[in-house]
């Protein structure tokens, strides 16, 4: 049996705004189908794409939803990443949405990355790096992004203090991130 192929949603990939619009529409539909009655999500938060850029064959951006803020990677072409057999486009087409799929490794800008595979018929396969999953404390989108900017500032300060070299993302440890959130309400 052949290995499943990466499905690329290429109908909109050459126009940045079309990608952002398709992602927003896709996640609005997911919200309506699966999360609109959930009490564990923050219904005051919008679905929003920010910090969109293209690099090494990927559309990379931050995605805010009422249930999570994440970094998404949508491939412009087959990235050559092996897909688990139960995550083929055919098998995922009618499967329920999973917030976090199987973990995969890939390289971007020469640095090893880890993200979780996901798929929707509208977007094809894509990768998700969850950044914030506890959304209840935020009053709006700007609060979430301000909190994430605090994380980045803290990470940069710690790295500078330690004079350590770090790759493209320079991800802050979960401990540092959660310590900052536990201390108080995110900056507004």
The model's pLDDT over 100-141, given as tens digits with 9 standing for 90+, comes to: 999 999 998 888 999 999 999 999 999 999 999 989 999 999
Instruction: Please write the tens of the pLDDT for every residue from 162-188.
Output: 765 555 445 445 555 555 566 655 544
Compute the average pLDDT of residues 85-100: 91
Tell me the domain boundaries of the chain: 16-132, 141-183
- Position 2 scores a pLDDT of 61
- Position 162 scores a pLDDT of 78
**Residue 163 contacts by C-beta under 8 Å, 6 or more apart in sequence?**
none
pTM of the full structure: 0.81
Compute the average pLDDT of residues 131-156: 91
Beta bridge partners of 118: 126
Band of residue 94 on the pLDDT scale cut at 50, 70, 90: confident
- Position 5 scores a pLDDT of 87
More confident residue, 50 or 155: 50
- Position 20 scores a pLDDT of 95
Tokens of 16: 């940045």
When mean pLDDT is compared across 12-26, 27-41, 90-104, 148-162, the lowest value belongs to 148-162
- Position 79 scores a pLDDT of 93
**What's the chain's average pLDDT?**
86
Compute the average pLDDT of residues 7-17: 82
- Position 152 scores a pLDDT of 87
Compute the average pLDDT of residues 87-101: 92
- Position 158 scores a pLDDT of 84
- Position 4 scores a pLDDT of 73
Range 16-132: architecture per CATH: 2-Layer Sandwich (3.30)
């Amino acid at each position: 049996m052949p290995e499943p192929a990466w499905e690329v949603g290429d109908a909109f990939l050459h126009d940045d705004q079309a990608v952002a619009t398709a992602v927003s529409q896709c996640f609005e539909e997911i919200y309506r189908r699966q999360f609109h009655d959930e009490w564990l999500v923050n219904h005051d938060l919008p679905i929003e794409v920010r910090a969109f850029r293209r690099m090494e064959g990927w559309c990379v951006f931050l995605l805010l939803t009422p249930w999570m803020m994440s970094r998404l990677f949508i491939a412009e072409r087959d990235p050559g990443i092996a897909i688990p057999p139960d995550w083929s486009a055919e098998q995922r087409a009618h499967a329920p949405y999973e917030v976090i799929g199987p973990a995969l490794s890939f390289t971007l800008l020469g640095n090893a990355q880890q993200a979780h595979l996901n798929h929707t018929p509208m977007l094809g396969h894509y990768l998700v790096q969850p950044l914030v999953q506890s959304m209840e404390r935020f009053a709006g989108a700007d609060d979430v992004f301000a909190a994430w900017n605090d994380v980045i500032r803290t990470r940069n300060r710690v790295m500078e203090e330690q004079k350590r070299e770090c790759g493209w993302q320079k991800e802050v440890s979960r401990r540092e991130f959660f310590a900052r959130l536990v201390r108080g309400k995110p900056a507004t």
